[in-house]
Amino acid sequence: MTDTHGADGARPAPAAPDARDAAQNAYEALGLRTEGTLIERLGIELEDVAADHVSARMPVAGNTQPAGLLHGGASVVLAETLGSIAAQLHAGPGRAAVGIEVNATHHRSAREGWVHGVSRPLHLGRTTASYEIVVSDDAGRRVCTARLTCMILDRP
């Protein structure tokens, strides 16, 4: 993978220890392991998890394409992560949510700082759940709009 970790080669400072701990606690409360995953690699930090929305942030530095812009695939990973967590919450105990379709429209680029994603439900059914995920830059400008549909299955 090619990265351009910003002009000076550094990632933005991570969240304060309390924020990191809160994000990790949120993942663990959901039964999610992030160590060694793409979530950890991209620096995605959960911010809020509720029935009607899931939000997180991700640094731009380290998640860029060779021209120094946020990689569109990184935006899609952030979006699918948020929608999948929301779908798992909707599915409930004894059920699993798996992504079956994702699409994204990239509206503008980001070169620095953080991008922030918010997932909100569009459809909450018994066997499928669909979400719109909006990714914005630090100034609140929309960077990407994604839509994710998950299938909800009974766990064996």
State the catalytic residues.
80
Structure tokens at 114: 């953080």
Q: From CA 122, how far away is CA 131, in angstroms rounded?
A: 5
Burial 25-61 (b: 16+ CB within 10 A, else e): ebbeeeebebeeeebeebbbbbbebeeeebbbbbbbb
The Cα 83–Cα 55 span in angstroms is 9
Listing from the earlier edge strand, what are the strands of the sheet with 128-137? 45-50, 53-59, 114-124, 128-137, 142-154, 95-106
